[in-house]
């Protein structure tokens, strides 16, 4: 069994990575200076992604999944974010939680009516947008930190952001990665890759994104840029941790080297 090859995939991965930079510029309404910086960095990362795919047979097989999830899944995540926001972009000065738009019920709907300032948000421990500005109601304060994270978890799991991230990532992951080929040789590896890995990819995207997203948003000056970087990091770390942890729990000893070299035969894992 040979690892999938193809320069077309490398170009597609690089293109999807560069497209993420353009999408962040548009969705975040970045000013020209920051937008240009984002595009330059995205182009550089796209070049690295292209070369990493081209030379992946010299690397551990998990690099395939990280590249595919990061490029195609990341682009799908941004597309879903745009859909969740009602095919519009948040204000340039919106806070991280306000820019998310789907972590709290009625979030963007209330913004549209001007009840809550763009810098406020129910996820960040400020006024609840479902009651704020409503006559006869005292604005309630939603918790921040881990409890706020639990409040937005399931709405985000069921969001377009998560759905299009999976649509963008899973089909090419099945078609082009050595992880998926190995998973077809072992039911334990199939569970660790496709069940545990994908579940923790979603959890990592949501929790790590909401943990470090506000800090990155403040550092970059853009809620969309900071949020995307945080969620992308969580997505990739969650996938890797899920695959590694799942394999360890199922007795597959993932700390052993499972690197495919060009033309090398692969000994499948025990079923």
Is 28 part of a structural domain of the chain?
yes
How far is CA 270 from its chain centroid? 32
Reference 178, options 191, 167, 189; nearest CA is 189
How far is CA 84 from its chain centroid? 15
Is 175 part of a structural domain of the chain?
yes
Q: How far apart are CA 231 and CA 26, in angstroms?
A: 18
Q: What is the mean pLDDT of residues 56-62?
A: 86
Name residue, tokens 């853009």: 222
Number of domains in the chain: 1
pLDDT, tens digit, 9 for 90 and up, residues 172-192: 999 999 989 988 988 998 999
Q: How far apart are CA 121 and CA 117, in angstroms?
A: 8
Question: Looking at residue 36, what is its pLDDT?
Answer: 97
Q: How buried is 88 (Cβ within 10 angstroms: 0-12 exposed, 13-18 middle, 19+ buried)? A: exposed
Reference 71, options 176, 152, 180, 212; nearest CA is 176
How confident is residue 137, by pLDDT bands cut at 50, 70 and 90?
A: very low
How far is CA 160 from its chain centroid? 12
This prediction's pTM? 0.77
How confident is residue 117, by pLDDT bands cut at 50, 70 and 90?
A: very low
Q: How far apart are CA 250 and CA 222, in angstroms?
A: 42
Is 269 part of a structural domain of the chain?
no
Is 244 part of a structural domain of the chain?
yes
Name residue, tokens 């005292």: 138
Reference 202, options 248, 170, 239, 243; nearest CA is 239
Is 223 part of a structural domain of the chain?
yes
**Domain range for residue 24?**
7-102+159-249
* Three-state secondary structure call for residue 141: strand
Torsion over CA: 253, 254, 259, 263 (sign)? positive
How confident is residue 92, by pLDDT bands cut at 50, 70 and 90?
A: confident
Is 83 part of a structural domain of the chain?
yes
Is 120 part of a structural domain of the chain?
no
Q: Say which residues have a Cβ less than 8 Å from residue 148's Cβ, sequence separation at least 6.
A: 123, 124, 125, 142, 210
Is 134 part of a structural domain of the chain?
no
pLDDT, tens digit, 9 for 90 and up, residues 230-264: 999 999 999 999 888 888 888 887 777 554 443 34
Cβ atoms 93, 80 nearer than 8 A: no
Q: How far apart are CA 177 and CA 56, in angstroms?
A: 10
């Amino acid at each position: 069994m040979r690892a999938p090859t193809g320069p077309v995939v490398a170009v597609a991965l690089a293109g999807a990575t560069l497209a993420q930079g353009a999408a962040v510029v548009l969705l975040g309404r970045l000013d020209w200076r920051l937008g240009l910086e984002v595009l330059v960095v995205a182009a550089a990362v796209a070049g690295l992604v292209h070369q990493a795919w081209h030379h992946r047979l010299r690397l551990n097989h998990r690099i395939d999944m990280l590249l595919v999830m990061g490029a195609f899944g990341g682009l799908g995540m941004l597309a879903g974010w745009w859909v969740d926001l009602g095919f519009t972009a948040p204000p340039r000065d919106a806070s991280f939680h306000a820019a998310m738009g789907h972590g709290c019920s009625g979030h963007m709907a209330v913004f549209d009516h001007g009840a809550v300032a763009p810098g406020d948000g129910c996820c960040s421990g400020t006024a609840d947008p479902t009651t704020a500005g409503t006559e006869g109601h005292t604005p309630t304060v939603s918790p921040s930190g881990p409890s706020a994270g639990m409040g937005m978890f399931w709405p985000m799991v069921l969001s377009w952001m998560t759905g299009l991230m999976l649509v963008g990532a899973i089909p090419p992951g099945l078609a082009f990665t050595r992880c998926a080929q190995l998973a077809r040789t072992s039911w334990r590896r199939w569970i660790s890759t496709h069940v545990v890995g994908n579940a923790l990819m979603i959890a990592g995207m949501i929790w790590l994104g909401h943990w470090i997203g506000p800090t990155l948003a403040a550092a970059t000056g853009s809620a969309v840029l900071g949020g995307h970087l945080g969620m992308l990091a969580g997505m990739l770390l969650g996938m890797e941790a899920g695959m590694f942890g799942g394999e360890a729990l199922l007795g597959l000893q993932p700390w052993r080297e499972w690197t495919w070299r060009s033309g090398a035969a692969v000994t499948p894992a025990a079923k």
